[in-house]
Amino acid sequence: MNVKLMHPSTGFLALLCILGIIAAGCVPIPATVAPSDVPPSAASLTPAPAAAPAPSAAPTTAAGAHWPTEGWRTSTPEAQGMDSQKLAEMLATIKEKNMNIHSFLVIRNGYLVSESYFRGYQQDTKHDMQSAGRSFTSTLVGIAIDKGYIDGVDHQVLEFFPERTFANLDAQKEAMTLEDVLTMRSGLEWQETADTRNAQQRSPDWVQFLLDLPVVAPPGSQWSYCSGCSHILSAILHETTGMNPRDFAEQYLFKPLHISDVNWMVDPAGIPYGAGGFDLTPRDMAKLGYLFLRNGQWDGQQIVSSEWVKKATQRYAGVDEHFGYGYHWFTVTSLGGYAGYAALGTGGQIILVVPELDLVIVTTARTEESIFELIDQYVIPAVQKAQ
């Protein structure tokens, strides 16, 4: 175990997974796919409330801000208004419970104040993000809209594929919009099961498979967890930008953030898997959270518009009493009285942003235990106690 509560420069740890995804497979297609751990109540179709406001934004002034393009600055927790003893208590709890956590990072005010690695994992170890990777995919959609490749989220999905003919075509399918797919309210008859995912992966044309599915609910009306929807986004990027989404990501997202050597799983047509399928170090995962915390700004550039950040992290649909859903970001309401949003992957892959506290938390793991309970009981109180 490599644990560092930042003394003039050091770190910390913890985590959970509460909502799930699929463990994506490379081509050639694996024989089986790990089942999703989305709670049954969350995976089923549920009425979608109107969009709720995004969490309060952190100060947006870029003057004097640190940009961790080349690396994160470190600080003691106390210097950034956090109580190190409370973080140490969390570490003791994790050790006592023998939780299968691989990394836990806490970033406050742009400083890495706590960083811990376990079970042989190190700072430079890349980790499978599982479905936390789909928040990167939706960010690429936002960048494509900002650059004029896509005219907006109201664009009808089938119009992105004018040379294709799809089965089960009806007025509802024709009405499905990009926003419906981003918010997982497509209405498509997708079941978040191993059988459905395996059927997609056996298909020689994943996009055709997905958009051939019948529509069983009016698009935009009901939320249903849909890994296939994330891959539709990747296919839309391919169609509209004229670039492989991997190359588009490299030019407009990975390179500016200094994220390198990304190997992304692809479908049989070479389109990167939109629901995940690539590994990053926890420090690089944190860069996406920090980009959103700073309203899309990065080191003198507007990588993605602040308007997109605001829209992407609003609550458009209810998942359960604690979680909602935005543009491939989960919204979180129960963080010690604070609101936030998160990229979540099965087993405990988390990129959590709490704007009001200027806080980014990243975890990687293989656990079914509740990391959000640890965050609620220790990390948020560490800020409150110091204040």
Mean pLDDT in residue range 197-226 = 96
Could you report the per-residue pLDDT of 35-78, keeping only the tens digit for each? 233 333 333 333 344 466 566 555 454 556 789 999 999 999 99
> Please, what are the domains in the chain?
2-54+65-332+342-386 (3.40.710.10)
What is the C-alpha to C-alpha distance for residues 161 and 153, in angstroms, rounded to an integer?
Answer: 16
Mean pLDDT in residue range 328-357 = 94
Give the per-residue pLDDT at 304: 98
How does DSSP assign 168-218, residue by residue?
A: S--HHHHH-BHHHHHTT---B----SHHHHHHHHHSS-HHHHHHHSPB-S-
Could you report the per-residue pLDDT of 229-276, keeping only the tens digit for each? 999 999 999 999 999 999 999 999 999 999 999 999 999 999 999 999
Could you report the per-residue pLDDT of 2-19, keeping only the tens digit for each? 655 554 333 323 333 333
377 contact partners, CB below 8 Å, separation of at least 6? 90
Mean pLDDT in residue range 30-36 = 27
Sign of torsion over alpha carbons 378, 290, 332, 365: negative
Give the per-residue pLDDT at 254: 98
Q: Which one-letter amino acid corresponds to residue 233?
A: L
Give the per-residue pLDDT at 2: 60
Nearest to 174 by CA among 184, 164, 159, 163: 159
What is the C-alpha to C-alpha distance for residues 290 and 310, in angstroms, rounded to an integer?
Answer: 14
Give the per-residue pLDDT at 303: 98
Could you report the per-residue pLDDT of 116-145, keeping only the tens digit for each? 998 888 889 899 999 999 999 999 999 999
Q: Looking at residue 47, what DSSP letter applies?
A: E
